[in-house]
C-alpha cells in the first residue's frame, strides 16, 4: 500500500495564476518531505523540501506547506509559467532513511 | 559537466537473461540509490548505499542485486530478467542521506 499519495494525476492552470499540487501521506513518522519536478526523458530534479518542525518553506515562486495533523503536503507555484509544465512528485522519509514517492501530478500551464 | 551517467539509455531484453544497468557519478556523493518508475506508482526504491562498501534493501528489492565497490559506481543487476521488471530505472545520488537526491536520466528496460 502506498504511503505517499498524489490523488490528482493531472492539473491544468492558466499562465500567471496559482498552481496548487497536493500530496497526502499515511505514515505519521515521516519527518522530511521533498518535491521534485520531472520533464519527459529526464530524471527528476529537486525543487524544495520541508522538515516536520516547520509548516511552511518558501523559495522564490515555490512554497511548500505542511499540515501534520492532516498528514497533508502542498506545493504552491505563484505565478505559474509555461516552463513549469512537468510532472511533480512529492516524497517523504523517516529520518532520511528510505524515501517514498507519490505517483506524480502532471501540471500543464497554458499560455 | 558533473552529474550522474546511466547506461544503457534503453534496452530490450529476453526473459531469463542477465542484465546489469550501470550508474556512475562524478560528484563524490556518499549515498546512491536505484529506483524504478512504473505508471501510476511513482518511483519505488529498489536498493540503496549510504557509503562505499555498504548496501541496503529498499521497497522492492526482489530480483535485483547491487554492489558498491567504490564511491563513483553503483551497478544494478537483474540475475534472470522477468517481464514484470519492465520499467524505467533511475539512479540517484546525494552528498549524504539527509540531502536531496540528484537523478540520472534513466534507463528504459523492456523484458520480453
pLDDT one digit per residue (tens) for chain A, 111 residues = 789 999 999 999 999 999 999 999 999 999 999 999 999 989 999 999 999 999 999 999 999 999 999 999 999 999 999 999 999 999 998 876 688 999 999 999 999
Which pLDDT belongs to residue B42?
86
pLDDT, position B97: 77
Across A15-110, where does the E strand assignment appear?
19-25, 32-38, 45-51, 56-59, 62-67, 72-77, 86-93, 99-101, 105-110
Q: What's the pLDDT score for residue A97? A: 66
Nearest CB to A103 within list B33, B35, B42: B42
Kindly determine whether residue A96 and residue B103, on different chains, have CB atoms separated by under 8 Å: no
Return the residue matching grid coordinates 499540487.
A21
Residue A43, chain B, CB below 8 Å: the answer is: yes
Chain B residues in contact with A34 by the CB 8 A cut-off are: 100
Q: How many CB atoms lie within 10 A of CB B12?
A: 10
Taking an 8 Å cut-off on Cβ atoms, the answer to whether B43 and A34 are in contact is no
How many CB pairs below 8 A link A and B? 52
Amino acid at each position: 500500500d502506498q504511503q505517499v499519495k498524489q490523488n490528482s494525476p493531472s492539473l491544468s492552470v492558466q499562465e500567471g495564476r496559482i498552481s496548487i499540487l497536493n500530496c497526502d501521506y499515511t505514515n505519521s513518522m515521516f519527518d522530511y518531505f521533498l518535491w521534485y519536478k520531472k520533464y519527459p526523458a529526464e530524471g527528476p530534479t529537486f525543487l524544495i523540501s520541508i522538515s516536520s518542525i516547520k509548516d511552511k518553506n518558501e523559495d522564490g515562486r515555490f512554497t511548500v506547506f505542511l499540515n501534520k495533523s492532516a498528514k497533508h503536503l502542498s506545493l504552491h507555484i505563484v505565478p505559474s509559467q509555461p516552463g513549469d509544465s512537468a510532472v511533480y512528485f512529492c516524497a517523504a522519509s523517516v529520518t532520511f532513511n528510505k524515501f517514498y514517492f507519490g505517483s506524480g501530478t502532471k501540471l500543464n500551464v497554458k499560455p | 559537466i558533473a552529474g550522474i551517467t546511466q547506461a544503457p539509455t534503453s534496452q530490450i531484453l529476453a526473459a531469463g537473461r542477465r542484465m546489469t544497468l550501470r550508474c556512475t557519478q562524478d560528484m563524490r556523493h556518499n549515498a546512491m540509490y536505484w529506483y524504478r518508475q512504473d505508471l501510476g506508482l511513482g518511483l519505488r526504491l529498489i536498493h540503496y548505499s549510504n557509503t562505499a562498501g555498504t548496501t541496503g534493501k529498499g521497497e522492492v528489492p526482489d530480483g535485483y542485486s547491487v554492489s558498491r565497490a567504490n564511491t563513483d559506481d553503483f551497478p544494478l543487476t537483474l540475475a534472470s530478467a522477468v517481464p514484470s521488471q519492465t520499467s524505467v530505472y533511475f539512479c540517484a545520488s546525494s552528498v549524504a542521506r539527509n540531502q536531496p537526491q540528484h537523478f540520472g536520466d534513466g534507463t528504459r528496460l523492456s523484458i520480453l
